[in-house]
Each structure stands twice: as C-alpha cells, then as structure tokens.
Structure 1
C-alpha cells in the first residue's frame, strides 16, 4: 500500500531541504528559500503536501518551514514562466509579505492575493505553515471591467469572509475522487474573495484622462479588428490611431497593462473561446494560426501559462458532458 504524504512527514537537514525546495518549485513555481541562520542548512526543518491536482489548471501546496526568508525574483519569474495568482492562507506562525511595493503582516488565518509574475518576499519568524493555491489568471480577471485587482491586501481571519475562505482553502487537501466537487469549491472561493480584492475608481475624470481613455478604447477596438494578423504590432496600432508608439505604450501602462501582453491575452482568449464553443473540431494549430500565432510551440506554452492547462487538455475538458468526472 502506497504511503500518502502528510505534513507529519518532516524533512530535515540538507537532503530534506533539497527535496522540499524541489517540491515547492514543482507545485508553486521557482522560489529561493534561505535556510535557518543558526546552523545553516543542516538545521532545516519543513514539510510540504501538494494540493489535489484533480482540477486542470490548479495547483498549490500546504507548506511548513523554519526558513526565515523565501523570495521570488524577476529571474525566477522568467525562468518558470508562471502566470498565475496565488491565494496564500497563513495557518500557523506569522509572516511578513513584501509584494508590489506594499507590505502585509500575516497572522494565523489571514489571506492575501499575490501575482506570480511579480517579485515577492516572505519573511518568517520560527516555524510557519501556509497554504498556497495557484489560480489561473483569467478566473480572477474575467468580468471585472472598470476595476483593478488589489494585491497584497489581507483578508483578516476574524472577518466572516476570512473564516469561510480559510475553511475552503483546506478543502483542497481532503481526499476526494469527485472532480466536480473540487471545481465547485474553487468557484466558490473565487466568488467569495473577488469583491475584496477588486476596486473601482469612480472619481471624476479630468480632460486628459478622458482623452487617454478614448485612445485606450480606440486601441482596444483596433486590436480586436486585427488580432488574426500575424504582423500586428504596436507600430501598426499607433499608425492606425495617428499617435506615436511611445504614447501608445504609456496609455496602456497607465491602465496597468503591457500592449504586447494585452494582444497575447486577447488572442489566447479567442482561441479558448473557440475550443469551448466549436462544433466542428479543428486542429489546435489551425485555431492558433487563425488568431495570429505563427509558432505552435509558443502558443502552447503561452496558453498553458494563462489557463493552467494545455490547449488539448482545455479542449478535452470543455468537450466533456455536464456532470462527467473525467
């Protein structure tokens, strides 16, 4: 009978540290843990329990460690290419989180939202235990027009939302063979926390802001009309709008976006929409080419980064009949 790992399976010393670090990278992405300062790596203690991976596109782990500092740099981000949000739930011990120019102090039960595409630093005092869940970017970004996501703002454990959200995160570590149950749990968690982690700016716009908004909306319409063009570029869009490429980049930056990333995401969203709704199954490469991709390998990597699952896996899941477990 195979042994099922638990947090009671303690990892110690240099061998335990190496196994713990590699498992952390597999489940949550590339991070640099710093061993305890007292006796170095030989004094390391920790454990890691992967979340159930039954739901395509989701991952994560329940993590305990006595490392005083764990960080994720720009180099790590480029190396693993992960493009998710992290929901971090502090279970025991305390942590300080530096992310996006802000700092949060996490007490047991608190939750925060982080972006895997931005650097982060965790600081711990003594042994600490957390849950880290990876949520595909589109799950939180969809249906939040005219709003922005607030990162590194905690939901306190003593709030009703915090108590319920904390309960839900633990469900990913309870044995179940029912994929639909886990998908329902995930949707419930996202619906619960989204209002707390989004904000809208309703203050009156200045004349310049109105002009910039108009250019931004024109640029979006221009991009939508030319997504299938392999040669679509910021230069082409700037010419269509009668503005400079520098101004175009600035307008997108003021909306928290990169124009290149925006074009890529819109193409990926179009492909995903076709995979979900197409009646005649086309080759994946044909769908990719139809929406402006000219490199199938690049498309597959970008699609998995955005949606957490390969194009083939996404289409197979979308084709399953309602209520199917496989």
Structure 2
C-alpha cells in the first residue's frame, strides 16, 4: 500500500469541506524501515491534525485510508502497536465520530471517560483536550464532521458530546458498512454522486443519534426536541416558498413565535439561518448536477431566493466561490474524469 498525494480535485471542496487538512489518502508505516516508522507516521498523519502519538517503540505499525466526501472526511485506521493518541492542538467546529471495530481495550478520556468495545461508537469534539489509550491492536472507522453541520440537525448534540452513551449496534454496523463501501468506491465520481453518498452517511448518523433514548434527559426536554423535529420537517417541505417566515411557520404548527425561537436556540441557530443554509445547500447540489436544464437564477428561484444578487453573495460567503465559479469547477472536474475514464478504456 503506497502513499499518494491527497488533493481535493473537486470542485469548490476547499470551501465545501470544513475539515481542512492536507493528508495522504493512504499511509502505511510498513513502507519504511522499522526504526523510522513512528517518525514517518507523525510526519504523514499527526502534524496535520494536532494529535500526538505516544508509544514505547519506534517500530510503530499502522495504516490509514482517508477520503474526503462532501463536508465529511472518512478515515479507516488500523494500528497494531499499543499507543496513546493525545489531542494537543484544538480545532474549532469539528467533531469526530469513532467506531471501534477490533476487539481490543480502548479508553477515551476527555469530557467523560468511556471504554470502547468492539462495535461501539463515540462522538467527541476537537476543541476539547482528550486522550485515546489503545492497549492492543485496534481498527477504527472515524468520521470528521463540522460541528455546525451536526448541531444544525441534532438539537441535543451537546448531550452526545458530554455523556457516555450507548447506540444501537445494528445502526452502528450500518454506518460502518456504508463507510467501508464509500472508502472502497471510485474516488473520481461526479460531484452529484459524492454529494449523495455524503448525505446518505450523514442521514444514517443523524438517525443513530436520534434513536439514542439515553440522550433524552427529561420528558420536558423531549417535548421541545420533538417539536423542533416537527418544525424542521415543515421547513424542509416548504423550503422553496420565498415567503417562509417565523410567523407563518408558528401559525402552521399551532405554536407562538416566541416558543418557535426558543426551541431553535437549542441548536445554536435561528429559524431563518437554518432556512438560508438549507436553501444554499440545495442550490449547490442542483448546480453540481449540471443537467443543463436551468440557469443559475432558475436554480436560486426554485429554492426560495427572490433576489439573484443576494443569492450570489450568500453562496460565496458559504462556499467561498460564486455560483458561476462553482458550476465551472464541477464541469471541469467532470470533464477531466470523463477524459480519464476514456483513456483507461
């Protein structure tokens, strides 16, 4: 397993993917001499992510496969050497979802202590100091996801970050299988395919968090949480309505505007910020499809924008490029992929 330079040839992903790093897609310490393996791993992996590896030998045996897809970064990490991974440099707005695969003892020490067992899942944030202690061989699947992206969808996210919770093993297994499938699939897929795979994985993760009854602290909290999900479902069904506003939403759901704002504060956002983020993401996906049916303005109007200039400014602020630049980058990438595929035939 060799190493190759990892680049996001794709299409505004510097802006779209919040997990910013420059890491090889493949790292295998066994490609160097035993005495150089720990230093090799630190150079290839740890210097990019602010985590320090501590172990008793330079003969550090590990391999990692990484893939960025949408706003998510996926890692398959297998390490034979007992070690500790210590977060030295905090990173804001970044969470890790770790699935432990190998039947080894692993303990997480951070906001809480948690003993990993095979098939278990833990979510934690990179802004905290933490330590992972592996006492034997380990294999983990890790998703790096912007915290803002999760809190946007999971109102009680902080509970998952603060508590040692147990998740449905069947759903954890589904996440692991989907991650393996994505990691094994062709990385040179059209942007619309990448978006769909990332959304499928994110939806499965969110469903797993929703299904964790341990995260519901009280009936009162659950009532507000359930209402927030009703509000979001209503917004998603009506996101293309340019007249969508707090008063109309509150009236449609039979609640007051003040209560509507109160329950949205649980997810550290406002109703209209949520609406704007959803509209921009749907516009981005439609622009990436490049079916040629609609121009940029038509895409914006379809998803509730009634001012093309406001849409363009909001898109650039969110993704770092204009809608026209983004569409051109997608087209260029897909043409390169098509030419590469034709050359291999």
TM bucket by the smaller chain? 0.5 to 0.7
Partner residue of 2:205 out of 167, 185, 193: 193
Point out the structure with the larger helix share: 2
Sort the Cα spacing of 1:142 and 1:17 in 2 relative to 1 into closer, same or farther, 3 A: same
| 2: CA distance, partners of 1:57 / 1:137 | 11
* Match in the other structure for 1:98: 109
Output the TM-score relative to the length of structure 2.
0.54
Contact conserved, 1:99 with 1:120, CA < 8 A, in 2?
yes
- How do 1:239-318 and structure 2 match up within 5 A? 276=283, 277=300, 280=308, 311-312=320-321
In the alignment, does 2:64 pair up with 1:48? yes
| 2: CA distance, partners of 1:128 / 1:98 | 17
* Match in the other structure for 2:44: 23
Question: C-alpha offsets along residues 45-88 of structure 1, whole Å, 9 cap, x if unaligned?
Answer: 22222x223x3432242223324211114xx00xxx34222121
Unaligned runs of 5+ in 1: 206-253, 289-298, 304-309
Corresponding pairs, count = 241
Contact conserved, 1:8 with 1:47, CA < 8 A, in 2?
yes
Contact conserved, 1:11 with 1:47, CA < 8 A, in 2?
no
| 2: CA distance, partners of 1:46 / 1:154 | 28
| 2: CA distance, partners of 1:117 / 1:58 | 17
Sort the Cα spacing of 1:20 and 1:315 in 2 relative to 1 into closer, same or farther, 3 A: farther
Unaligned runs of 5+ in 2: 5-25, 222-264, 284-299, 336-345
Question: C-alpha offsets along residues 113-145 of structure 1, whole Å, 9 cap, x if unaligned?
Answer: 121222221001123222222112233222434
Contact conserved, 1:89 with 1:169, CA < 8 A, in 2?
no
Question: C-alpha offsets along residues 285-323 of structure 1, whole Å, 9 cap, x if unaligned?
Answer: x659xxxxxxxxxx98xx6xxxxxx5228985589999x
In the alignment, does 2:53 pair up with 1:33? yes
Partner residue of 1:138 out of 125, 130, 148: 148
Contact conserved, 2:155 with 2:266, CA < 8 A, in 1?
no
Output the TM-score relative to the length of structure 1.
0.57
Sort the Cα spacing of 1:86 and 1:204 in 2 relative to 1 into closer, same or farther, 3 A: closer
Once the 2 structures are TM-superposed, how far is the Cα of residue 95 of structure 1 from its aligned partner? 1.4
Which secondary structure state, in structure 2, belongs to the residue aligned with residue 194 of structure 1?
helix
* Match in the other structure for 2:20: none
Sort the Cα spacing of 1:315 and 1:70 in 2 relative to 1 into closer, same or farther, 3 A: farther
Sort the Cα spacing of 1:63 and 1:321 in 2 relative to 1 into closer, same or farther, 3 A: closer
Partner residue of 2:83 out of 52, 62, 68: 68
Contact conserved, 2:154 with 2:206, CA < 8 A, in 1?
no
RMSD, aligned CA: 4.5
| 2: CA distance, partners of 1:133 / 1:139 | 13
Contact conserved, 2:96 with 2:126, CA < 8 A, in 1?
yes
* Match in the other structure for 1:86: 96
* Match in the other structure for 2:195: 183
| 1: CA distance, partners of 2:109 / 2:323 | 34
Which secondary structure state, in structure 1, belongs to the residue aligned with residue 174 of structure 2?
helix
* Match in the other structure for 1:118: 128
Contact conserved, 1:271 with 1:287, CA < 8 A, in 2?
no
Once the 2 structures are TM-superposed, how far is the Cα of residue 34 of structure 1 from its aligned partner? 0.3
Contact conserved, 1:58 with 1:134, CA < 8 A, in 2?
yes
Which secondary structure state, in structure 2, belongs to the residue aligned with residue 52 of structure 1?
strand
Question: C-alpha offsets along residues 232-274 of structure 1, whole Å, 9 cap, x if unaligned?
Answer: xxxxxxxxxxxxxxxxxxxxxx9797xxxx79xx989968966
Partner residue of 2:118 out of 86, 108, 128: 108
Contact conserved, 2:153 with 2:206, CA < 8 A, in 1?
no
Sort the Cα spacing of 1:21 and 1:153 in 2 relative to 1 into closer, same or farther, 3 A: farther
